[in-house]
Amino acid sequence: MPLSSIVQEDVLLLKVDTEGYEINVFAGAMELLTKYKVHNVVVEVKRFNDPDKRELLRSLASSGLKYIYNYMEDYGAEVPADQVYNIKPRITDVTDIVMNRRDSEHVCCEDFWLRREPLDL
């Protein structure tokens, strides 16, 4: 069932974590992205440096989500679970790398935050 048949209104945040099936999910969400205003998309993109995954990010940007950031959180996972802490997330603007097809430049992680408005970094 396409996401567009379930959600039929503006969306503040769309979170997608489908372990490699991002292209399929967004194929069923393109009507939602073009017909309604989706303000933020947070997506985990497996194999994000593959050309088809880069093209997915570009197609999301063309739907109005034109600011693309890498989002990385460090939870101190190398320590025992009872001592885990959350360090301030690192957010990196990768819009230029993705949109200008600089595919030879790798982005740092698989978590992307796409927005209609730029962040004040």
* Segment 60-69, tens digit of pLDDT: 888 888 998 8
Residue 76's pLDDT band (boundaries 50, 70, 90)?
Answer: low
pTM: 0.76
Residues of 93-117 as b/e, b for ≥16 C-beta within 10 angstroms?
ebbebbbeeeeeeebebbbbbbbee
Mean pLDDT, residues 1-25:
85
pLDDT for the residue numbered 88:
64
Residue 3 vs residues 32, 35, 66, 71: alpha-carbon distances, Å? 7, 12, 21, 24
Boundaries of every domain in the chain: 3-115
**Comparing 77 with 57, which gets the higher pLDDT?**
57
Give SS3 for 32. helix
Tell me the residue type at 32: L
Alpha-carbon gap, residue 85 to 47, rounded angstroms:
27
